[in-house]
């Protein structure tokens, strides 16, 4: 096997390859961006007020749309502003989806990376740098995520949630499901014996010394409880859950948590596995 030195080429200065060519490659195979198993939805969408959104990609599992803007060469102010503007228009027009702005450029300078990072956390934004590499008569594309989407942890939601209590959840869900939530926490034993339930408007978290520690959270329903276990998605846990008889919901990529629908019967027959998962989540949360 021989070593061949690759040649990095500038798409901006290329006579053969241009932005439309790059856009077409992305739309043919969105997985090359490294954002998951995305579907192509639209191209050159005409926007209200003028302009065209380069590409819209979609994650059917998370019901999430990615508004993608492409620029050859260095990114600049207009590229950043245009990307955010199109993201804002799309999220207002289609509020039933989650939305994320994506900037793709050949060169994302440190200056603009610093500017972009100021928005992140408030505006879901991903910056990807693309390099075109030539091997003899072939060309390949390499995408590097230089700024990942940042979302606020559940702890931040605690601070803006209206204060609630056990009675609130008994009315919203049921007394039996709240009782099951209490039972789940108790059955976790030593893992959570220093914690107590913290009732928030949208979920029930756990706290220790009046501080949220949401490596596990709960959403009671009428007849069961959704248990959220905060952990990066890994093959080991995927296989463990798939081999169980639990009712597994889709992995929540936004909050990076596994979701399980539990009844009293499910808890009794799977408590040891659940304890193992929660212990892993606790370790990762505090590491």
The whole-number pLDDT of residue 120 equals 60
Among 58-62, 150-154, 175-179, which is the least confidently predicted range? 150-154
Report whether 230 contacts 281 (CB < 8 A). Answer: yes
- Same domain? For 175 and 117 the reply is no
- Same domain? For 132 and 252 the reply is no
Cα separations in angstroms, 175 against 39, 169, 171, 224, 267: 42, 8, 7, 11, 17
What number is the average pLDDT over the span 213-240?
A: 94
* Alpha carbon distance 12, 233 (integer Å): 37
Q: How many domains does the chain have?
A: 2
The whole-number pLDDT of residue 106 equals 93
**Residue 23 burial (CB count, 10 A):** 17
The whole-number pLDDT of residue 198 equals 94
- Same domain? For 59 and 137 the reply is yes
- What is the H or E stretch that residue 205 is in? strand 204-208
pLDDT digits (tens, 9 = 90+) for 30-47: 999 999 889 999 999 999
- Domain of 141, in residue numbers: 7-147
End-to-end CA distance of the chain: 43
Q: Which is more confidently placed, 119 or 262?
A: 262
- Same domain? For 11 and 138 the reply is yes
**Residue 2 belongs to some domain of the structure:** no
- Same domain? For 108 and 189 the reply is no
User: What CATH code is carried by the domain that includes residue 61?
Assistant: 3.40.1350.10
- Same domain? For 216 and 253 the reply is yes
pLDDT band at 269 (very low <50, low <70, confident <90, very high): very high
**Residue 95 burial (CB count, 10 A):** 9
- Same domain? For 114 and 205 the reply is no
Domain boundary, last residue among 107, 126, 147: 147
**Residue 179 belongs to some domain of the structure:** yes
Q: Which is more confidently placed, 99 or 6?
A: 99
pLDDT digits (tens, 9 = 90+) for 108-134: 887 777 777 676 667 888 999 999 998
The whole-number pLDDT of residue 98 equals 87
The whole-number pLDDT of residue 157 equals 43
What number is the average pLDDT over the span 12-31?
A: 92
pLDDT digits (tens, 9 = 90+) for 43-82: 999 998 888 999 999 988 778 899 999 999 988 888 888 9
pLDDT digits (tens, 9 = 90+) for 184-208: 999 999 999 999 999 998 889 999 9
- Same domain? For 215 and 141 the reply is no
């Amino acid at each position: 096997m021989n070593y061949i030195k690759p040649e990095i080429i500038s798409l901006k200065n290329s006579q053969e390859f241009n932005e439309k060519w790059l856009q077409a490659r992305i739309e043919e195979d969105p997985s090359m961006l490294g954002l998951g198993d995305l579907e192509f939805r639209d191209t050159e969408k005409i926007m209200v007020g003028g302009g065209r959104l380069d590409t819209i990609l979609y994650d059917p599992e998370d019901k999430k749309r990615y508004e993608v803007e492409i620029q050859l060469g260095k990114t600049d102010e207009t590229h950043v502003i245009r990307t955010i503007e199109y993201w804002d228009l799309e999220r207002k027009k289609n509020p039933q989806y989650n939305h994320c702005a994506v900037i793709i450029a050949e060169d994302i300078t440190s200056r603009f990376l610093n500017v972009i990072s100021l928005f992140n956390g408030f505006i879901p934004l991903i910056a990807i740098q693309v390099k075109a590499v030539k091997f003899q008569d072939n060309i390949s594309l390499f995408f590097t995520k230089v700024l990942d989407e940042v979302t606020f942890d559940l702890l931040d939601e605690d601070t803006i949630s209206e204060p609630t209590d056990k009675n609130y959840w008994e009315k919203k869900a049921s007394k039996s499901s709240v009782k099951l939530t209490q039972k789940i926490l108790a059955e976790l034993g030593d893992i959570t014996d220093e914690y107590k339930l913290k009732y928030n408007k949208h979920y029930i978290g756990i706290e220790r010394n009046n501080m949220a520690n949401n490596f596990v959270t709960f959403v009671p329903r009428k007849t069961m409880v959704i248990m959220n276990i905060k952990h990066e998605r890994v093959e080991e846990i995927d296989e463990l859950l798939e081999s169980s008889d639990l009712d597994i919901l889709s992995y929540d990529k936004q909050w990076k948590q596994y979701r399980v629908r539990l009844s009293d019967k499910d808890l009794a027959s799977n408590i040891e596995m659940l304890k193992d998962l929660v212990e892993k989540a606790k370790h990762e949360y505090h590491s």
